[in-house]
Every structure is written in structure tokens, then in C-alpha cells.
Structure 1
């Protein structure tokens, strides 16, 4: 009995003497690069091969042709590619909007930063549309009174960027004051309702475009801008966008 008690005391002494506070002092790791030296799994490769080939075929399908390279920084307040994007949203989006409501889109406003790649000279493919517009943004049409259109034009005059627009003509002076603002070549009527097409990101306040939230109604077209681009390119043999006088500054 005494021996058992002695053994128990020795074990307890060892337990308590070994107890100590543990803390993490170092983490080590190493990078394992993925290179051609890693052997592909033939079973997996054979399984995905038909899907990969089908996707590549779809992405490489030629839709239209660009006689020049169009970049979003080619102009000061409007660019050829931005004008093209706004035109596509108006043309393709209005077909759906008019069929549903009997109304027509008056203005298109997109954001300069939403154009993520140039349209290069040569064949325009499905992949081109994915490169220019990689986001899942969809077209929405917002009903705005003339007062909100004034807020929209003020935003454009102060942003100092070539945000894509269509249906709106805007002139600012050297101090960025608006000297002319027309919708369909007419002065803005404060009592009139205008239908403005944009994307869901901007409608929700993206790029600080908060004027969209003060609206009468919003219509979601369930139509991605990228899909509108693909539909438009499929109908046009050669694109010919230009920089014009829709948004200019007088010096």
C-alpha cells in the first residue's frame, strides 16, 4: 500500500513539474510552384477535354470586326469605346424595355471604370466581350424626374471622367460649370420623367452615383451588359465607334 502511494505521489509530481505555458513562436512554410513539371492526370484531362474544347470554340467565335483599336483613355470626356458601350445598352436594352413597358430609354449612363479592356483591331470574338466586361452587371432602367437628371449632369460635370453616355449632350466651361445640357436635343424638363439605363452596380450607389435612388420606378431587364454586347456584335459586320461632341469642355 505504501509502495502504491509512493508511486502515485511520484507521478503527480512529474505531471505538475512538467506543466508549462505553451505559445506559438514560429510558423514555417514553403512555396510549391505549379509548373509544367507536374504530371497531368490523364483521366481528369480526358474527362474535361470535351468541355474545354466546347468552351474554347464558343469563346473564339468571330462576331464582328474592329478596324482600329479602341481604348477607354483615348478621349477626355467621351471615348469611342465608351460611346459604343452606351449605344449598345440603348439599342439592345431598349428592345426589351419597350416591349415590356411601351416606353423608350432616354439616356444611358455607365461608368468609365467598368470598361476593363480595349477592343483591339481585328476580329471581335465572344472572348472580347468577356474581356471588356468581365463583370456580371445587368441593365436596369430607372425612372427619374428632371430634378434628378440635373443631379446626374452635375455629377458628370464634376467627375472629370469619360463616363459612357448616350442620349445626353453636355457642355461644361473651363471651371466645370454646365453651359448646356440636352436630352434628345431638348432642354431638361424638371416635371418630365426620363428613363435612364444603367447597370445594377451604379444603381446601388457604385462610383457615388447616389442620384439613382431618388426615383419613381426601377425596371430590371435581367439582361447582362456582356450579353448585350455579344448580341450587338453578332448583328454588326464592322464596328465604327467615334469620339464626338456628346460631352465636351470649352476652354
Structure 2
């Protein structure tokens, strides 16, 4: 018992004599390491991933469709063949989903010219093509907009003077890009009506300064990524026939 008491007392004295030391961060050093060809490949890791890489490449490069003419977003004034392709594919693929979920139909599609990130060369079109055109994870959403918001959209397009991809709408601008007529289903846009506009979640959030998407009547998610829209469209289309047309022109 005496020995136990002695041990306890010694422990208490030892603990009470300890002082807490506070350490402070004084300096942080770092350096930039470039990830380039100067870094040697780890042969064991390369050997391990080789079969997975081969399978992935085969999947990405397997032909889905065929493109007979070179498509670029710089080949038109206010509409381009590749932009028309994307907008029409979105209308065709998403409309049945939206109709099934809500009982409504998409009135028009609006995407952004800058969102087209690659050209489509002549030849086979694959899943990799879709990833190159749309490398982002943007999802299709449908915004229900009042007529006055639609008129704000037209004002935005007039000032943009850019071939933003559209589908379901016919727009005629004058020589100075000011829009003088716009119809949906051959009807003039009405302030008293609402319209379902399919677009991307990026644009609904104000991307490309498209502020007219703010405060929509309603917003509907499609759970459908734009890239997947393109892949599904390519898969069911034997040969791409997209061209520059009269959906958005100057007169």
C-alpha cells in the first residue's frame, strides 16, 4: 500500500511539473511540380492499367454514327450546323422524357455558342466525339418562362449577335442583328403566355449572363446530361444530316 501511495504521488508531481508547449505555424513553403513528359512512367502501374485503358478506348471510339461533312461552330452567322445538331438532338431526346414526367411539351431549346467545345470532322462519330463537344457535366433543365422573360431573351440575342444554338423557334433579325420577328409554333411570342425552354443548368444559373432565366415560373430537372443526349442521338442516327438553315437569320 505504501509503495502504491509513493507511485501515485510521484506521478502527480511529474504531471504537475509538465508544461504545455504551444507551436505556431511560421512559414509555408511550396513548389510547383509540372505534370508533363518529364515525369517517368511507372512500368508496374502502366502494365496494371493497360487492359482497362484498352477497354475504355475501345468503348469511347466505337462508331455510333457517321458524319459526312465537317462541322464547326464558326461556319455560320446566327446558326451553325453543329449548333443546330445539338439543339435539335436535345429537343428530340428530352421532349419525350419531359412530356412523360409533366404532360407538357418543350416549346424551344436554347444553348450557348461557347458551350460547343470541339468540331466534328468527317468520319465516324463516337462516344469520344460527344465528350469532346461537351466535356462538362452540364444537365438539361426545362425552365418555364413568362412571355416578358422570352422578350428579354430576344433582346439578349439581339445584343449578343452570336449563333447561340436554338430549336423550336424561328427568329428573323435585321442587318444590325436587332430581332424584328420571332415565332414559336408559327405564333408570335405573347406576354400573356408561358413557355417551356430547355437549356442547361449552367445557363439557368446565369451563365453567359443569361439573366432572363432568373425567377422562372417553374424549373424541371431532366436527369439527362447534355453529353448523354448527344451519345443517345448519335447511337440512333446512322448518318448526321445537320445543316445551316433559316431558324435564326438576318434579312
Taking structure 1 as the reference length, the TM-score comes to: 0.84
Alignment of 1:124-139 (within 5 A): 124-139=125-140
The change in CA–CA distance for 1:240 and 1:28 in structure 2 (over 3 A counts) is closer
Work out whether residues 70 and 80 of structure 1, in 8 Å CA contact, stay in contact via their aligned partners in 2: yes
Q: Any runs of at least 4 consecutive aligned residues in structure 1 with deviations exceeding 2 A, and if so which? A: 27-38, 40-43, 174-178
In 2, Cα distance between the equivalents of 1:30 and 1:176? Answer: 47
In 1, Cα distance between the equivalents of 2:61 and 2:37? Answer: 26
**1:154 shift after superposition:** 1.2
Alignment of 1:180-199 (within 5 A): 180-199=181-200
**1:214 shift after superposition:** 2.6
- The residue that corresponds to 1:72 in the other structure is 73
Alignment of 1:222-237 (within 5 A): 222-237=223-238
The change in CA–CA distance for 1:136 and 1:30 in structure 2 (over 3 A counts) is closer
In 2, Cα distance between the equivalents of 1:37 and 1:223? Answer: 38
The change in CA–CA distance for 1:45 and 1:99 in structure 2 (over 3 A counts) is same
The change in CA–CA distance for 1:183 and 1:34 in structure 2 (over 3 A counts) is closer
- The residue that corresponds to 1:200 in the other structure is 201
Alignment of 1:130-209 (within 5 A): 130-209=131-210
In 2, Cα distance between the equivalents of 1:190 and 1:137? Answer: 30
Taking structure 2 as the reference length, the TM-score comes to: 0.84
SS of the residue aligned with 2:69?
Answer: coil
SS of the residue aligned with 1:70?
Answer: coil
Establish whether residue 213 from structure 1 lines up as the match of residue 210 from structure 2.
no
Work out whether residues 66 and 119 of structure 1, in 8 Å CA contact, stay in contact via their aligned partners in 2: yes
- The residue that corresponds to 2:64 in the other structure is 63
- The residue that corresponds to 2:244 in the other structure is 243
Backbone CA RMSD of aligned residues:
2.1
The change in CA–CA distance for 1:42 and 1:192 in structure 2 (over 3 A counts) is same
Moved more, 154-163 or 27-36: 27-36
Work out whether residues 61 and 126 of structure 1, in 8 Å CA contact, stay in contact via their aligned partners in 2: yes
In 2, Cα distance between the equivalents of 1:33 and 1:64? Answer: 35
The change in CA–CA distance for 1:31 and 1:114 in structure 2 (over 3 A counts) is closer
SS of the residue aligned with 2:71?
Answer: coil
Moved more, 42-51 or 238-247: 42-51
SS of the residue aligned with 1:105?
Answer: coil
Report how many residues are paired.
225
**1:63 shift after superposition:** 0.4
